[in-house]
């Protein structure tokens, strides 16, 4: 296992980042650094818990690895799946996709927003990296629509309401939205783009969007490869 920084290394880094010998400035830098490390650590742990859940591991197995009770593990990680996602790190294009997902759901007479609606919403942003990957792999809006029609048929009547301010995401959709932050951290990004949202689908192999992507020839490995190529091209 690669060791993390020891105490002296951390102190030295904090002093260097503070750029001052003033004790209060160093303390402020230390507080910020430790807070960021804690947040990143929590997100990283959540990332691997999500992977384990997506692979079908039980909460009993996960709690045993973490050394906590099943109830503690479930409370810390499972409850976040249904919490309202925070979009402060989402790019405007990604926020537009999320907003469009609600319109897609309404158009299909659904009173919930699932992963299938998020996947269809990518096509409302043709310049988005995720959408470019889909199109490059021959996955079109029509082919996704046809697949969704089979797996999640449109309702017969329009829903009475779909609260735009607090839409009822399915557990899997909320999981994808929140997991996108972990995907961004994995790539070392301080923003959440459509590419991270796409990768987050693969955290749950049972999700409708994931099934459609895999059935149409875009597995997780292919998605990673395609996105890396686009990101490298964009950075030139």
Same-domain check for residues 97 and 214: yes
Q: Please tell me the predicted confidence (pLDDT) of residue 82.
A: 43
Indicate whether 208 and 123 sit together in one domain.
yes
Instruction: Kindly report which listed range (72-86, 149-163, 185-199, 207-221) carries the lowest average pLDDT score.
Output: 72-86
Does residue 148 share a domain with residue 65?
A: no
Local confidence band at 128 (pLDDT 50, 70, 90 cut-offs)? very high
Q: Which backbone phi and psi does 235 adopt, to 5 degrees?
A: -85, -5
Q: Are 232 and 195 in contact (CB under 8 A)?
A: no
CATH classification of the domain holding 160: 1.10.1780.10
For residue 2, tell me if it sits in a domain.
Answer: no
pLDDT at 208: 95
What is the predicted pLDDT for the residue at 46? 72
Residues with Cβ within 8 Å of 184's Cβ and at least 6 positions away in sequence, in order, are 89, 190, 191, 192, 193, 196
Residue 157 in 3-state DSSP? coil
State the pLDDT at residue 43: 67
Coil, helix or strand at residue 90: strand
> pLDDT by residue (tens digit) across 131-153?
999 999 999 999 999 999 999 99
Q: Is residue 84 part of a domain?
A: no
Residues 65 and 103 in one domain: no
Are residues 115 and 229 located together in one domain of the fold? yes
Q: State what percent of residues in the chain have pLDDT above 90.
A: 43
Task: Identify the bridge partners of residue 169 per DSSP, sorted by sequence position.
Answer: 113
Structural domain boundaries, residue 23 = 7-70
38-59 confidence digits (pLDDT tens): 766 776 777 677 777 666 778 7
Taking the model in full, what pTM does it have? 0.67
Q: What is the pLDDT of residue 94?
A: 95
Give tens-digit pLDDT for 57-108: 787 888 899 888 878 876 676 555 444 455 778 999 999 999 999 999 999 9
The number of distinct structural domains making up the chain is: 2
* C-alpha to C-alpha distance for 59 and 77, rounded to whole angstroms: 10
Helix (H, G, I), strand (E, B) or coil at 172: helix
Residue 10 has pLDDT above 70, yes or no: yes
Q: Chain-wide mean pLDDT for the chain? A: 85
Task: Round to whole Å and give the CA distance between 58 and 68.
Answer: 14
Query: Based on the domain organization, do 198 and 100 belong to the same domain?
Result: yes
Listed as own residue / partner, the contacts of 1-7 with beta carbons closer than 8 Å and 24 or more positions apart are none
Same domain, 48 and 125: no
- 182/106 same-domain check: yes
pLDDT of 114 above 80: yes
pLDDT at 185: 81
- C-alpha 205/C-alpha 115 separation (Å) is 12
In a domain, 158, yes or no: yes
Q: Find out whether 197 and 90 touch, Cβ atoms under 8 Å.
A: no
Is the residue at 12 inside a domain?
A: yes
Question: Is pLDDT above 80 for 166?
Answer: no
Q: Is residue 181 part of a domain?
A: yes
CB neighbourhood size of 186 (10 A): 14
Say what the pLDDT of residue 81 is. Answer: 44
Predicted local distance difference test score (pLDDT) of residue 8: 87
The percent of residues in the chain predicted with pLDDT above 70, rounded, is 85
């Amino acid at each position: 296992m690669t060791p993390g920084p020891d105490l002296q290394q951390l102190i030295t880094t904090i002093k260097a980042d503070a750029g001052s010998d003033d004790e209060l400035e160093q303390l402020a830098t230390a507080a910020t650094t430790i807070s960021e490390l804690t947040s990143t650590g929590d997100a990283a742990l959540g990332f691997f818990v999500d992977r384990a859940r997506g692979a079908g591991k039980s909460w009993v197995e996960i709690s045993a690895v973490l050394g906590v009770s099943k109830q503690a593990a479930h409370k810390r990680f499972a409850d976040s799946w249904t919490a309202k996602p925070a979009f402060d790190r989402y790019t405007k294009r990604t926020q537009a996709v999320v907003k469009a997902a609600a319109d897609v759901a309404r158009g299909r007479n659904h009173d919930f927003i699932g992963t299938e609606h998020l996947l269809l919403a990518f096509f409302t942003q043709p310049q988005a990296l995720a959408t470019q990957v889909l199109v490059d792999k021959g996955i079109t809006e029509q082919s996704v629509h046809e697949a969704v029609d089979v797996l999640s048929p449109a309702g017969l009547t329009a829903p009475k309401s779909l609260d735009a301010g607090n839409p009822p995401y399915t557990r899997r959709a909320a999981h994808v939205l929140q997991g996108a932050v972990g995907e961004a951290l994995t790539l070392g990004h301080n923003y959440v783009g459509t590419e991270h949202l796409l990768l987050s689908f693969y955290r749950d192999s049972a999700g409708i969007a994931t099934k459609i992507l895999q059935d149409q020839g875009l597995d997780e490995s292919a998605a990673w490869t395609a996105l890396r190529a686009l990101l490298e091209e964009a950075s030139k």
